[in-house]
A and B are shown apart, each in its own frame.
Chain A
């Protein structure tokens, strides 16, 4: 697939604070790409630079090989679905969707056909004459999508479009968005702080933190082969443990030498080791590679979430078998369950569950949702 949008060395500061730091990114034609990161990481700013609502301090934006850095938003072939929908309250549903077509001075017949097609696609036939302010959040969202797609843009930018919807509706809309994207076959650039949303919808995920791209890859790559502690922690749950690479496929963690599948590191190089909670098996203490004491057990429905203290480091284990708190257990990890990462500036900041609680997780989610 050809490159459609390319960002070269983009930097942007607000009031002297760098939001994006010399970012290079290309977006291929017809792909569903997600910019994923925590609140304030620069993902929305990146999207706004592509949309033409912000100008980068440095760097260039290319569209289909042509530089568009200074092209104003209204001349760009990209359309946006805004976080707060931004429907025009003085126009009804039909006129909102027809708005970009009227600007192009298409004839009434053509407008009617295209608006009706869009209404069919977003399942809002019969809502033509309704005032947008009487619609529910989900319906407004559909109108916003229809309005953004009616003029057949090459790229659709979506800025946390599902952030204001409740969980059930959000799941439905995720599927719907993905199927719309596949049906019309254009590029979607999606911004979210929700890693689950990113993994389930995207062809490509771009993980951003502190104004820099941490990793670009398919959802599977990002999950299975995180590049650093930040990515490993942000995408799903992970235990990130200090380890030493003794040789290829041998890593020492907590004085036990584990077999693993990674190589290419220096002898005795300190590394970050990622072990997903679902890859740890609970076994009898004497059969375990490591032993520890259970400090907390939470029932999660599908599995139990078990926090185990192993030599002062708290691991999270997900197991379908119940373990009593304070019990001594052993753990067993397959070589495939161990992923080695080079040390980075994020080493030691994440992946320890000693201060873990669901509440903190939810709080930080709410913070992220408020970001605009």
Chain B
């Protein structure tokens, strides 16, 4: 018995080694890619953030960031509002799609994805053309609404651009919930609304957290939406970073980027705490 046990153990180990060798060969291109385009640039960002324009080590970039606190505050405010609206629209939408007949589901998802086939920048430009003071909407209605240049327009742009990122993970999550969950809830005396609130909503929490992350992060750091739909009156943190790099202030730009990254990392970690441990957190 013992011998057989050891024998099989040895065999499993051998197989494991073999598999891990094959796996590392397969993973090599990805690791190379990750090092070249993710890890290395990160180090460059860190390097620039902690040096001055002469290449000397310095905290001055980080120290100067306090000047940008109001901009960061505004970015956060708009991003949170946009994310909240995305969730308020996205959850019911995702729920309805997940509960639709399978062949209808495909059509709905297709419709949702369709705008994403157009470049984000082009879509934002189009919204600008529609909402502008002398734009399509105003000429159609013969009105003179001033929309572009308001907070509302920027938020609208964010919601429009990022809504699919909210809907898709929630939809995936809800459609994976077994039919028996709905039935068990009903069986135990839960009405249709109660079932959604008490069972389906908690069970789709991992989808909600993925969706919130996938909308919040690009909303905070966006620059083109605020540039185009903000009509030049808004500067968000993304615009600030862009301006630093465009004007050659690489060190300050890198410092802001680094701080942003750290903040986003912290918030994702916190959000993952709320997510179901079994789901393995979020992949961003």
Contact = CB atoms under 8 A, between A and B. Distances in A.
Contacts of A80: 183-184, 187
A187 to B, nearest CB: 16
Q: How large is the interface on A (under 10, 10 to 19, 20 to 34, 35 or more residues)?
A: 20 to 34
Interface in A60-110: 72-75, 78-80, 82-84, 86-90, 99-100, 103-104
A370 to B, nearest CB: 16
Contacts of A86: 178, 180-181, 183-184
Contacts of A82: 180, 183-184
A100 B202 CA distance: 17
Interface string B187-199: 1111100100011
B276 interface: yes
Most chain A CB atoms below 10 A, which of B189, B203, B205: B189
B186 interface: yes
A84 B199 CA distance: 17
B199 A88 contact: yes
B199 A74 contact: no
Contacts of B202: 90
B248 to A, nearest CB: 52
Interface string B128-166: 000000000000000000000000000000000000000
A51 interface: yes
A313 to B, nearest CB: 46
Contact of A74 (B180, B187, B278): B187
Contacts of B190: 74, 103
A51 B188 contact: no
A84 B189 contact: no
A53 interface: yes
Contacts of B278: 89, 133
B183 A90 contact: no
A104 B181 contact: no
Contact of B187 (A79, A83, A90, A104): A79
B203 A73 contact: no
A147 interface: yes
A151 B183 contact: no
A52 interface: yes
Contact of A73 (B178, B181, B183, B199): B183
B139 to A, nearest CB: 52
A99 B198 CA distance: 9
A87 B202 CA distance: 13
Q: How large is the interface on B (under 10, 10 to 19, 20 to 34, 35 or more residues)?
A: 20 to 34
A74 B198 CA distance: 14
A86 B184 CA distance: 6
A354 B194 CA distance: 57
A78 B191 CA distance: 15
Contacts of B203: 88-90
Interface in A211-234: none
B181 A74 contact: no
B183 A84 contact: no
Interface in A126-158: 133, 147-148, 151
B188 A84 contact: no
A79 B188 contact: yes
A133 B190 CA distance: 22
Contacts of B188: 74, 79, 99-100, 103, 147-148, 151
Contact of A84 (B180, B185, B205): B180
B181 A88 contact: yes
A132 to B, nearest CB: 11
B189 A104 contact: yes
Contacts of A52: 186-187
A260 B183 CA distance: 51
Contacts of B184: 80, 82, 86-88
Contact of A72 (B178, B181, B186, B276): B186
A78 B199 CA distance: 20
Contacts of A103: 188-190, 194, 198
Most chain B CB atoms below 10 A, which of A53, A74, A103: A74
A159 B133 CA distance: 64
A90 B276 contact: yes
A42 B224 CA distance: 60
Contacts of B186: 52-53, 72-74
A78 B194 CA distance: 18
Interface of A: 51-53, 72-75, 78-80, 82-84, 86-90, 99-100, 103-104, 133, 147-148, 151
19 contacts: A51-B183, A51-B187, A53-B183, A73-B186, A73-B187, A74-B188, A74-B190, A84-B178, A87-B184, A88-B181, A88-B203, A90-B199, A90-B205, A99-B198, A100-B188, A103-B190, A103-B194, A133-B278, A151-B189
Closest 7 CB pairs of A and B: A86-B180, A86-B184, A100-B188, A73-B186, A90-B202, A74-B186, A80-B187
